[in-house]
Amino acid sequence: MVGASSVRFYRDNGYLLVKGLLSRSEALAYREESHAVLARLRGTDPTWGSARELAAGPTELRHCHDAQFYSAAFARLMVDPRFTDVAAAVMGTGNVQLHHTKIFVKPAEKGSPFPMHQDAPHLPHTRHTVGAAIFHFDDAPEEKGCVRVVPGSHKNGPLPHIEEGGWHLPPSQWPLEAAVPIEAEAGDVLFLSYLTVHGSGVNTAPEARTTLLIQFRDPEDSPADDVHHSRGQGMMLRGVDPTVRTT
């Protein structure tokens, strides 16, 4: 559980890094699990077209949506109160509902960047409670392409994005380098409003960067558009769904 000052920090800045939410050994076990899932799936590279312009040479990204459908370890993590209590606290509700999950691996030395963006254009909602929790399964210093944020940017509300090459903000107005790097250690979890402008750099380090992102919402916040469905969307991670929606 986080205290009132952490909740206030999230409300003021649009993000909160919770140190050591998982122990280092738990995080490293999840790292193994993530890489094993990706090895079984052998998926395609999801690097955004717009990310290609941010890197000097070719980069790669490995990912998998709906991680909990491939390993029960992720299903356990999604309902872990160490996570769901913080998600509830930052939203100011007792109820936490799943939107989607995804594993990201930025391979060593050539891990793709993400241009600055809000998540909101991908999954617009009416009350803007949606947030992401990025679980770090290994250390993410700046040279590994850690997440970077623009503190307070969530207060601008949804911003117009460029759709081509992945919904992103104009790099000339929102340079990656101007954003605050949120360096993290294995076991740390970064909570982020879906309105907070964020991105990440290239992983130039000799080790991969491995994360799981869980996107969550208050069940009383409904989608503003019929987009971004995922397997298991709507599952309750904490509390109840007072709307008793059936779809």
One-letter amino acid of 112: S
Residue 240 tokens, joined: 């109840």
Task: Compute the least distance from the CB of residue 202 to ligand AKG, in Å.
Answer: 10
Nearest residue (CB) to ligand AKG, 47 versus 200? 200
Task: Compute the least distance from the CB of residue 209 to ligand AKG, in Å.
Answer: 8
Among all residues, whose Cβ is closest to ligand AKG? 200
Nearest residue (CB) to ligand AKG, 91 versus 213? 213
Alpha carbon distance 139, 203 (integer Å):
12
Task: Compute the least distance from the CB of residue 5 to ligand AKG, in Å.
Answer: 26
Work out the number of other CB atoms within 10 angstroms of the CB of residue 191.
26
Residues that bind ligand AKG (CB under 6 A): 104, 114, 119, 134, 147, 198, 200, 211, 213
Nearest residue (CB) to ligand AKG, 26 versus 119? 119
User: Can you tell me which residue has the tokens 């491939």?
Assistant: 70
Task: Compute the least distance from the CB of residue 105 to ligand AKG, in Å.
Answer: 10
Nearest residue (CB) to ligand AKG, 86 versus 116? 116
Would you give the DSSP letter of residue 17?
E
Task: Compute the least distance from the CB of residue 91 to ligand AKG, in Å.
Answer: 18
Cβ atoms 238, 87 nearer than 8 A: yes
What element of type H or E holds 25? helix 24-41
Residue 89 tokens, joined: 């606290």
Nearest residue (CB) to ligand AKG, 223 versus 239? 223
Distances (CA, A) of 71 to 10, 37, 232: 31, 7, 14
